[in-house]
């Protein structure tokens, strides 16, 4: 089995019947408390969604370091910028549609233009928010955050990586955005799985002694769908390398370019609009360094809608079968067909 054991992933990664599932936002709550335990300057601000974003864990342990801002996302960012200016490390939370969606200008001007040490946590990202519908499904947040100077952007694949990302940004000065999901999703990593800012990781490898036919580069919980797709393709004799790419900015260009050179074809997978998202960032890197055929799995220029989270992933073309089909398409392009 080509699971990369060096990554210390769970052994039952292909078994949805036994695989543990937790929301990635739980990792944020745990990570924020851990970061606060380590550094007394960590503070938390929330826009009236403390329980939903999981900041309640921090509020309960450190009430004197918590500020409830109410439904005032612009103030959320501006006050956090001021706290950073006097040496604090503010984490701000809301649904991603509201922060960074509603307060983008304050994030750009008061946080990033001044290069303040504010950590923006966008919860309930993607269509898997489910029945809340299009108005609450942030599928453009990577695209609006990635171009801002000084901003870093992350999309953890599961609860453990979500915790590590929340802790990691506390140790590096500067603005950061981390997107988290609402729904329970597969827990494929462990506490021992590596995570570093600016690094991508091969979670699934091609057979020994062979180069991959295709590289699938994914972020967020859809990394698991990419692995399931790789397992299906392996049965057909197609060698796949699956890269978990949680650090969207800065991006691990060396790993991604190496995978593209080895495979000669790439499929990107994300729960986000394909325009301006993680896949676009990958394409920019490859266009400069290693142009190869690329197919993009994500939301295809439409708004979200209400529904069951798993059904929406399928309806929006981000299921395992869609990734398999995208691989077949990019392989035909690779062969010039």
Q: Catalytic residue numbers?
A: 73
Q: Estimate to the nearest angstrom the gap between the alpha carbon of 23 and the chain centroid.
A: 13
- Report in angstroms the alpha-carbon separations of 141 from 84, 85, 268: 23, 25, 17
Residue 130 has a CB neighbour count (10 Å cut-off) of 21
Q: d(Cα 135, Cα 138) in Å, to the nearest integer?
A: 8
Residue with the two structure tokens 């924020």: 32
What are the structure tokens assigned to 207, written together? 């057979």
φ, ψ for residue 104, nearest 5 deg: -60, -40
Q: How far is CA 51 from CA 56, 66, 99, 123, 251, in A?
A: 5, 13, 16, 11, 31
Q: Are strands 89-95 and 42-46 parallel, antiparallel or unpaired?
A: parallel
Cβ contact 92:118 at 8 Å: yes
**Ramachandran sector of residue 264 (left: φ over 0; alpha: ψ -120 to 50; beta: rest):** left
Residue 140 is classified by DSSP as S
**Whether 132 contacts 308, CB under 8 Å:** no
């Amino acid at each position: 089995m080509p699971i990369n054991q060096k990554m210390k992933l769970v052994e039952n990664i292909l078994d949805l019947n036994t695989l543990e599932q937790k929301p990635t936002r739980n990792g944020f709550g745990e990570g924020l408390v851990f970061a606060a335990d380590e550094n007394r300057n960590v503070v938390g601000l929330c826009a009236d969604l403390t329980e939903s974003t999981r900041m309640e864990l921090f509020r309960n342990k450190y009430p004197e370091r918590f500020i409830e801002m109410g439904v005032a996302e612009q103030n959320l960012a501006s006050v956090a910028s001021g706290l950073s200016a006097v040496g604090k490390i503010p984490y701000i939370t809301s649904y991603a549609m509201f922060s960074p969606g509603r307060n983008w200008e304050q994030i750009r001007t008061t946080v990033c233009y001044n290069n303040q040490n504010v950590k923006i946590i966008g919860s309930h990202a993607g269509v898997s928010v489910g029945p809340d519908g299009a108005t609450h499904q942030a599928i453009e947040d990577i695209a609006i955050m990635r171009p801002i100077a000084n901003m870093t952007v992350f999309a953890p694949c599961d609860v453990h990586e979500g915790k590590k990302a929340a802790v990691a940004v506390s140790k590096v000065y500067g603005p950061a955005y981390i997107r988290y999901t609402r729904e329970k999703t597969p827990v494929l990593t462990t506490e021992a799985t590596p995570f570093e800012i600016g690094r991508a990781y091969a979670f699934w490898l091609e057979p020994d002694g062979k180069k991959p036919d295709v590289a699938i580069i994914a972020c967020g919980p859809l990394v698991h769908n990419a692995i399931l797709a790789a397992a299906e393709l392996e049965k057909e004799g197609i060698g796949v390398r699956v890269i978990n790419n949680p650090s969207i900015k800065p991006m691990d260009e060396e790993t991604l370019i190496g995978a593209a050179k080895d495979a000669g074809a790439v499929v990107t997978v994300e729960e986000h609009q394909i325009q301006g998202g993680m896949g676009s960032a990958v394409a920019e890197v490859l266009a400069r360094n290693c142009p190869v055929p690329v197919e993009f799995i994500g939301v295809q220029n439409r708004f979200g809608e209400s529904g069951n989270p798993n059904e929406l992933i399928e309806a929006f073309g981000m299921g395992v079968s869609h990734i398999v089909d995208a691989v077949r398409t990019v392989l035909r392009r690779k062969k010039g067909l």
